[in-house]
A and B are shown apart, each in its own frame.
Chain A
Amino acid sequence: MNDNNENTAQQTDEDEFSVRESVDLTPDNADFFESEGGLVSMRLRTEAGEEYFERIVAVRAFPVTDPSEFICIRQPDIPGQDKGAEIGMIRRLSDFDERSRGLIEGELHRRYFSPRITSIIKIRNKMGYLYWDVDTDAGKVNFMVKDPSSNIRILEDGRVQVRDVNGSCYRIDDPKALGRSSYKKIEMYL
């Protein structure tokens, strides 16, 4: 009896330190739906019972190489309270029906905002800083890139990532497909 008591006490102690067990999320155990606030809610069924999360956050494990697989579903960080813990991982997004996929993709889209550059109007090099004027699928933007050799990243598959001084990201899926005049403007920085 006594033994037992101590055991449970220790069990709760440990809970404070151990992270929650992450589960594999499949259409069988997870339901996603739009929350009242326009974000994504989720209901999770495990052996222990059913859990409801008013808001979940989706994070890609391999945002660059594998954007639609290995998606982590986490609780949001609530300031002054807890760091959000991982609820589970979606192995393949394609396992889910269109509605859930749309919700999660929307959430991912919010998190990984990186306008696609559709044409380059002008790149001015002023004392080693590049001022870009570009057209993107999110509208016309201009931004400043410091230290171009490290902030213009070429990925293995030929895509290009540009990070400006404010931390915003822009991408070019295929520099050559931008057209000749645009390509000539960035060629020298690749």
Chain B
Amino acid sequence: MKMLCNMPQGAAAAFERAAGGESLRYCVPFDLYEDRVADGYIACTDRHIYKIVADEVVKIYDLSRMSAFSVETMHGSCGFYARDGSVAVLICRFASRRYVSAYYKLAAACDELAAARRPPEFRDSPDEYCPKCGRQYIPHTSICPFCSSAGTSFRRLWSLAKGMRWRMVLFPALAAMAAVALRFAIPAVQKIAINRYIYPPDGVQRGMIDKFLVLFAAVLFIELAQRVMSALCEWVGTRTGNFYAQRLRDALFDKIQQLSMASVSKKSSGSIIGRINRDVRIISRFMAVDLPHYISQIFSFLLALVLLLYISPRMCLFVFIPLPIAAFCIFISRKKLSALYRRVWTLEIRADDTLQDAFNGIRVVKSYGQEDRMIDAYGRKSETFTAFTERSHKFQDTVFPLIGFIVRLGSYFITMFGYAWLFRGTLDLGTLNQFSSYSGIIYEPLTLVSVIPRTIAQFAASAAKVAEILEEVPEVTDSADPADIKIKGDVRLEHVTFGYDSFNPVLKDVSLDVSAGEMIGIVGLSGSGKTTLINLIMRLYDPDSGRVFIDGVDVRDISQRSLRSQMGVVLQQTHLFSGSVRDNIRYAKPDADDEQIVRAARIANAHDFIMRLPEGYNTIVGDRGYTLSGGERQRIAIARAVIHDPAVLILDEATSALDTETEKLIQDSISRLVAGRTTFAIAHRLSTLRNADRLIVIDRGRIAECGTHAQLLAARGLYYKFVMVQYRALIEKD
């Protein structure tokens, strides 16, 4: 979105008339006026805001009187508000969220302009619109589904098949073509057999039986060769199809690992992973099986056409008469069919979602005794789904045979007229036989016409979704020449501003200087941006403005690998990978030996409970393994961090979920871990942070206070209040 967009002539003229000589600083469109869709612009100069609708200035605001510019995102629309003197005003409304970021920037800029300060410079974000049709791209990509066809995504996926194209498509296609060609040979041989040996024309001597046998053998051989070719084509197709699917999955996995947290957290729900898998299956099947099949069928059609014309042009007429009728039927039913398929598909997804939901929430379902209701809900969805599946099958089973019949009508004509001509002697039996065999072949690809559009549509939808992921540009990338450095542990933030959505800053102008070995406690209400601060230090995201330095080097210049391999994190919720306790502990350092593992576990106070597990360090934990309690998981996470031996350690509410007893246990292990390395510890229980060298208090995205426990208490600010509240809560409990 540009901050200075071009107004159409009428609007620009209206602005000129109203503004006189003032120069236009910002111009942002809006699309709602008095509850109607409209073409409006907010034009902002150094002194005024002009609201322009339908080529007329409908309102002028005097910037010097205004303050508190804000954007409110509401349900279905957004508003740009401000204060005019002491009165709240709604400057404009817009329905499309694509304007939101521009208005946030405009609000920030207007605040500055209103205070007669220099407004900040904005980078125009890259174009999100298709230059061809003006429609929106899929967010974070440069794909316009409207303009790109199946061909565009096909090319993208085709490039992935590098090195196996021949095997995957060309060879199966050639083999299928060869099989088709061989099929054409049989009627030709039959024709010779019939005309020469069975019913030779008058005056020609009947052929010898041994030559007939040769022909018979030839037919047999051709038949066999054809089957072998078909089998080979199928076999190679399936094999390379699987191979391609694997490659595609790898590429997707690679990409997903590269993508920033932002886009992954939007995608990674279970059902979406299932859908990606489905898409991969559809794509690879299309590439390796369907496509060669279609190529060979098209080839077969063309070959049959040429041969039929060559053999008997007049009989070709009969072949082609039913074609327009069949084409018409197919055209009509296709629409209805695709609607039916679509509906079935939608209903299936809805039923699936219910199932998935019930499955994931089985504990809640059971503990509230709601099994019957879930069964009921699923039953209803699955019932409609079944009903529609049946409907679509019924339709399909009526229409396809009908089309088949119409298409084959030609063969009946051929037989009828063929025999008439035969009796009249204008046609020989061999030719008739050959012709009707070929006409049989030509119809086969035609029946495909009803299937191909659907498969292609399905492929296109899947391809688009996969391409969307492959195309996505990672938001956090290594610079051209990233450095691998050995981190000491100095961390510095300079005027960092950041929001997950660029228009809604979570951290505002945060600066912080931490020297190596220091332990920093971070406190603040939940949602104030503590985790976000950590995410920026770890460079899971890049700040919108400002910089993060580690050992004086901008984190953007450090390779992500080397950066993260020297940071350790213990989160509130620890993810254990499926695998043994041992594998989980040495996750960040796979070459750690068993002695180190046991030592780490001891430091983390985990050794004791691990020894009580059925298979000690080899007990399988994780998704499907032994279930550990929250405290036990936490201690494994700490052991993981111990063995990792990071220069910078991050504890994000590592002990918040635990009871005080367990926390004491873990606290010990943590204080051993913390010694000598830069540590950022977030905690709600302030007692957890008593070892911290310094504390920072984050309040609504800003660092409100910073200092030692004693300093902050003396300041009697926010921290003091936190302490008081917790202290009082303790007293009241007793």
Query: Does A92 make an interface contact (CB < 8 A)?
Result: no
List chain A residues, Cβ under 8 A from B457: 125
Contact check, A187 vs B107: say whether CB atoms are below 8 A apart: no
Could you say which of A13, A35, A76, A136 contacts B87, with CB atoms under 8 Å apart? A35
Give the docked Cα–Cα distance between A63 and B107 (Å): 29
Query: Does B350 make an interface contact (CB < 8 A)?
Result: yes
List chain B residues, Cβ under 8 A from A149: 346, 349-350
Contact check, B36 vs A35: say whether CB atoms are below 8 A apart: no
Residue interface bits A84-125, CB-to-B below 8 A is 1, else 0: 000000000000000000000000011111110000000011
Contact check, B90 vs A38: say whether CB atoms are below 8 A apart: yes
Known A39-B88, A144-B136: A79·B728 in contact at CB below 8 Å:
no
List chain A residues, Cβ under 8 A from B725: 13-14, 17
Contact check, B343 vs A187: say whether CB atoms are below 8 A apart: yes
Give the docked Cα–Cα distance between A136 and B76 (Å): 14
List chain B residues, Cβ under 8 A from A140: 37
Max chain B CB contacts within 10 Å: which of A111, A146, A149?
A149
Q: Tell me which of A21-29, A42-50, A163-171, A174-182 binds B.
A: A163-171
Contact check, A54 vs B87: say whether CB atoms are below 8 A apart: yes
Query: Does B706 make an interface contact (CB < 8 A)?
Result: no
Query: Does B135 make an interface contact (CB < 8 A)?
Result: yes
Residue interface bits B52-85, CB-to-A below 8 A is 1, else 0: 0000000000000000111011111101010010
Give the docked Cα–Cα distance between A14 and B461 (Å): 56
List chain B residues, Cβ under 8 A from A155: none
Give the docked Cα–Cα distance between A126 and B339 (Å): 14
Contact check, A37 vs B90: say whether CB atoms are below 8 A apart: yes
Q: Tell me which of B143-151, B445-453, B549-557, B682-690 binds A.
A: B143-151
Give the docked Cα–Cα distance between A154 and B138 (Å): 24
List chain A residues, Cβ under 8 A from B70: 76-79
Output the least CB separation between A161 and chain B (Å). Answer: 10
Contact check, B75 vs A113: say whether CB atoms are below 8 A apart: yes
List chain B residues, Cβ under 8 A from A112: 74-76
Residue interface bits B137-161, CB-to-A below 8 A is 1, else 0: 0110000011010100100000000
**Which residues of chain B in 77-123 are interfacial with respect to chain A, using CB atoms and an 8 Å cutoff?**
77, 79, 81, 84, 86-90, 93, 95-98, 107
List chain A residues, Cβ under 8 A from B703: none
Contact check, A169 vs B136: say whether CB atoms are below 8 A apart: no
Q: Which residue of A lies closest to B68 (CB)?
A: A78
Residue interface bits B457-470, CB-to-A below 8 A is 1, else 0: 10011111100000
Output the least CB separation between A146 and chain B (Å). Answer: 7
Could you say which of B38, B93, B145, B350 contacts A127, with CB atoms under 8 Å apart? B145
Contact check, A109 vs B346: say whether CB atoms are below 8 A apart: no
Output the least CB separation between B704 and chain A (Å). Answer: 12
Q: How many residues of A contact B (CB 8 A)?
A: 51
Size band of the interface chain B makes with A:
35 or more
Give the docked Cα–Cα distance between A35 and B90 (Å): 11
List chain A residues, Cβ under 8 A from B32: 113, 138
Could you say which of A77, A144, A188 contacts B72, with CB atoms under 8 Å apart? A77
Query: Does B327 make an interface contact (CB < 8 A)?
Result: no
Query: Does B174 make an interface contact (CB < 8 A)?
Result: no
Could you say which of A10, A128, A138, A190 contacts B724, with CB atoms under 8 Å apart? A10
**Which residues of chain B in 225-272 are interfacial with respect to chain A, using CB atoms and an 8 Å cutoff?**
none
Contact check, B74 vs A111: say whether CB atoms are below 8 A apart: yes
Give the docked Cα–Cα distance between A126 and B464 (Å): 9
List chain A residues, Cβ under 8 A from B79: 110
Could you say which of B36, B98, B145, B728 contacts A166, with CB atoms under 8 Å apart? B98
Contact check, B87 vs A36: say whether CB atoms are below 8 A apart: yes
List chain A residues, Cβ under 8 A from B37: 115, 136, 138-141
Contact check, A126 vs B74: say whether CB atoms are below 8 A apart: no
Give the docked Cα–Cα distance between A140 and B340 (Å): 28
Give the docked Cα–Cα distance between A19 and B172 (Å): 71
Contact check, A139 vs B343: say whether CB atoms are below 8 A apart: no
Contact check, B81 vs A110: say whether CB atoms are below 8 A apart: no
Query: Does B481 make an interface contact (CB < 8 A)?
Result: no
Q: Which residue of B lies closest to A139 (CB)?
A: B37
Q: Which residue of A lies closest to B104 (CB)?
A: A79
Output the least CB separation between B505 and chain A (Å). Answer: 10
**Which residues of chain A in 53-87 are interfacial with respect to chain B, using CB atoms and an 8 Å cutoff?**
54-55, 57, 63, 76-79
Query: Does B278 make an interface contact (CB < 8 A)?
Result: no
Residue interface bits B341-358, CB-to-A below 8 A is 1, else 0: 011001001100000000
Give the docked Cα–Cα distance between A17 and B704 (Å): 15
Give the docked Cα–Cα distance between A112 and B38 (Å): 18
Query: Does B721 make an interface contact (CB < 8 A)?
Result: yes
Contact check, A139 vs B88: say whether CB atoms are below 8 A apart: no
List chain A residues, Cβ under 8 A from B90: 37-39, 110
Give the docked Cα–Cα distance between A149 and B347 (Å): 9
Query: Does B35 make an interface contact (CB < 8 A)?
Result: yes
Give the docked Cα–Cα distance between A35 and B69 (Å): 18
Q: Which residue of A lies closest to B74 (CB)?
A: A111
Residue interface bits A1-41, CB-to-B below 8 A is 1, else 0: 00000000010011011000000000000000001111100
List chain B residues, Cβ under 8 A from A187: 339, 343
Output the least CB separation between B2 and chain A (Å). Answer: 17
Max chain B CB contacts within 10 Å: which of A38, A55, A113, A114?
A113
Known A76-B81, A188-B339: A127·B96 in contact at CB below 8 Å:
no
Contact check, A127 vs B107: say whether CB atoms are below 8 A apart: no
Known A63-B75, A77-B70: A39·B89 in contact at CB below 8 Å:
yes
List chain B residues, Cβ under 8 A from A184: 339
- With A38-B90, A138-B32 already in contact, 19 other A-B pairs whose C-beta atoms are closer than 8 Å: A13-B724, A17-B721, A39-B88, A63-B75, A78-B70, A79-B70, A114-B75, A126-B145, A127-B148, A127-B153, A127-B463, A128-B461, A129-B464, A136-B37, A138-B37, A139-B37, A165-B136, A168-B77, A188-B339
Identify 20 residue pairs between A and B in the complex whose beta-carbon atoms are under 8 Å apart, listed by A's number: A13-B721, A17-B721, A36-B87, A37-B84, A38-B90, A55-B88, A63-B75, A76-B70, A110-B79, A110-B90, A111-B74, A127-B464, A128-B464, A138-B36, A138-B37, A144-B136, A149-B346, A168-B76, A187-B339, A188-B339
